[in-house]
Amino acid sequence: MDKNTESKKHFTDSSIEIEEVYSPKNVTINVEDMLGEPGSFPFTRGVQRDMYRGRLWTMRQYAGFGTAEATNERFKFLLDAGQTGLSCAFDLPTQMGYDSDHPRAEGEVGKVGVAIDSIEDMKLLLRDLPLDQVTTSMTINATASILLLLYELVAEDNGVSSQKLKGTIQNDILKEYAARGTYIYPPRSSMRLITDTFSYCSKHVPNWNTISISGYHIREAGSSAVQEIAFTLSNAIAYVSAAIEAGLEVDQFAPRLSFFFNAHNNLFEEVAKYRAARRMWSKIMKERFNAKSDKSLKLRFHTQTGGSTLTAQQPENNIVRVAIQALGAVLGGTQSLHTNGFDEALGLPTEKAAKIALRTQQIIGYESGVVDSVDPLGGSWLIESLTDEIEKRAFEYIEKIDELGGAVAAIEQNYVQDEIEQSAYSYAKQIDSNEKIIVGVNSFVDDTNAESEVFPIDPELQKTQIARTIQLKASRDNEEVKVRLKDLKSALSGSQNILYPMKEALRAKATLGEVSDVLRSEFGEYRPTR
């Protein structure tokens, strides 16, 4: 071919070269052996035999802002609109273990999520919701065990057995050190909280997903698709290893592990990423941890469309981006899905944007036909080639992390952080140089952007929340609270499961901040080395 007519090379977001035409020669593994059947090892084609022919994915829209009452109203709005699961965002003070009346909470109460300081707030958040019927996901990490116990206590007050509760706490602290930053305690102390939660839930909340190991925030920080699953699965290996070292049997807790991935715009790479992650996890659990139960081998995951891909310029374009990303998640076999509002680059999603986002999922599910066949892109030479290559490159990262001593050690040595930073820098350079086109940002730009409605934050909400927390602390039995917090402190210096004394402190109306302070006094606080 003449050099002047030779086509330009094309690459995925992970720098995997895309051939002009695909054929069997592009697939390097035995497709029949590595595909298998849906619902069977190695689960490349999905974790259920019939996938969406039996039941659609859970449509779980993320919500949370202001006070518990305001978020409760948004939950009911979404359920009335056809949402099939709840997903709750918490404000920064709640995530960082501070009550709303703490000086460090100033200006952040109820801003990026709902403020939950105590059992009284959790009662308002969950008021009139059918906790024995709805599944609830809570995006919370450093204080995950506290929020789970508050949820359980409210359910008990409502006459709902903890055996009937279904949902997920994110509870994935390792990615906080590498990509997000809402950590409190040092990594090794945080791992104790996580394994104690695994053990507690296996006995008392058996249908709860005790962790949602998150690649989402790793991708939001700038990683590639390959890095997203490599670093996520490395973190998962660390959690499984820690639980086994704590005395748990792998098949006792592994079936309740879940994952959380991002969906970006490169449709075929995203589909292949999910398929590769499923295959990799089944191999890891079977070969590395000797798991026997099929449930332990299945990688079940929630997906959220890519927040970092949304643009403030021409925000209506985000509706199309979200639709493409959601389609990729469905074609890749997600178990639940959140679609972002088109206005989220400007602020919290308005009701209009939240409804359009939900309708996007419903149109894919009920109108597009992509749910009629399991793994509809399976067997595509392009998809199988990408699945192979992503798996190969991701395992190379995992081997490197193993050489460094595992995920915790790799984070402590800043290896993971450095790799993400380099990927983010490369991506930014591609946009700056127009090598990568972002419509409305560096190409097809116009100056006619109309004013968009922005979700309003009522400053009175913070005052209301602070007053409620102060009132609670004044009206409860403070002597009992002191005794319960002292019991918790004693447990921290021993080896018992700390969720039991923590639950009794919360039952006595100790606040999230007070419980977190007891943990701070024993564990200390994490300070990054750079």
Contact by Cβ (8 Å): 488, 505: yes
Amino acid 502: pLDDT:
98
Say yes or no to pLDDT of 530 above 80: no
- Could you tell me if residue 121 is inside a domain? yes
How much is the average pLDDT of 222-229? 97
Which of residues 379 and 326 earns the better pLDDT score? 326
Residues 357, 406 within the same domain: yes
Amino acid 24: pLDDT:
84
DSSP string across 128-164: T--TTT--EEEE-STTHHHHHHHHHHHHHHTT--GGG
Amino acid 446: pLDDT:
87
How much is the average pLDDT of 332-344? 95
How much is the average pLDDT of 264-287? 97
- % the chain with pLDDT above 70: 95
- Could you tell me if residue 4 is inside a domain? no
- Could you tell me if residue 456 is inside a domain? no
Amino acid 527: pLDDT:
86
Amino acid 8: pLDDT:
84
- Could you tell me if residue 229 is inside a domain? yes
pTM metric for this prediction: 0.90
The model's confidence at residue 448, banded by pLDDT at 50, 70 and 90, is low
Write down which residue in 432, 449, 475 finishes a domain: 432
Residues 392, 492 within the same domain: no
Cβ atoms within 10 Å of 61's Cβ, excluding its own:
27
Residues 85, 231 within the same domain: yes
Say yes or no to pLDDT of 5 above 50: no
Amino acid 528: pLDDT:
81
Cβ atoms within 10 Å of 475's Cβ, excluding its own:
10
Residues 402, 356 within the same domain: yes
* 42-86 pLDDT tens trace: 999 999 999 999 999 999 887 777 889 989 998 898 889 888 788
Residues 470, 397 within the same domain: no
Residues 406, 510 within the same domain: no
Closest CA to 116 of 85, 84, 149: 149
Amino acid 447: pLDDT:
74
Contact by Cβ (8 Å): 213, 235: yes
Residues 199, 341 within the same domain: yes
CA distance linking residue 339 with residue 360, whole number of Å: 8
Amino acid 2: pLDDT:
47
Cross-strand partners of 257? 211
Residues 144, 205 within the same domain: yes
Amino acid 30: pLDDT:
66
Write down which residue in 412, 432, 452 finishes a domain: 432
Residues 389, 501 within the same domain: no
Tokens of 527: 């300070």
How much is the average pLDDT of 235-250? 94
Range of the structural domain that residue 197 is part of = 33-432
> Which whole-number Å values give the CA distances from 460 to 207, 230, 257, 465, 505, in the listed order?
38, 44, 39, 9, 30
- Could you tell me if residue 451 is inside a domain? no
CATH number (domain holding residue 55): 3.20.20.240
Average model confidence (pLDDT) across the chain = 92
Split into its structural domains, the chain has a count of 2
**How many residues are present in the chain?**
530
The model's confidence at residue 123, banded by pLDDT at 50, 70 and 90, is very high
Say yes or no to pLDDT of 247 above 80: yes
How much is the average pLDDT of 211-224? 95
- % the chain with pLDDT above 90: 81
Which of residues 347 and 255 earns the better pLDDT score? 255
The model's confidence at residue 1, banded by pLDDT at 50, 70 and 90, is very low
- Could you tell me if residue 490 is inside a domain? yes
- Could you tell me if residue 252 is inside a domain? yes
CA distance linking residue 217 with residue 222, whole number of Å: 9
How much is the average pLDDT of 158-163? 95
* 95-116 pLDDT tens trace: 999 999 999 999 899 888 999 9
- Could you tell me if residue 443 is inside a domain? no
Say yes or no to pLDDT of 174 above 60: yes
Tokens 């403030």, located at residue: 312
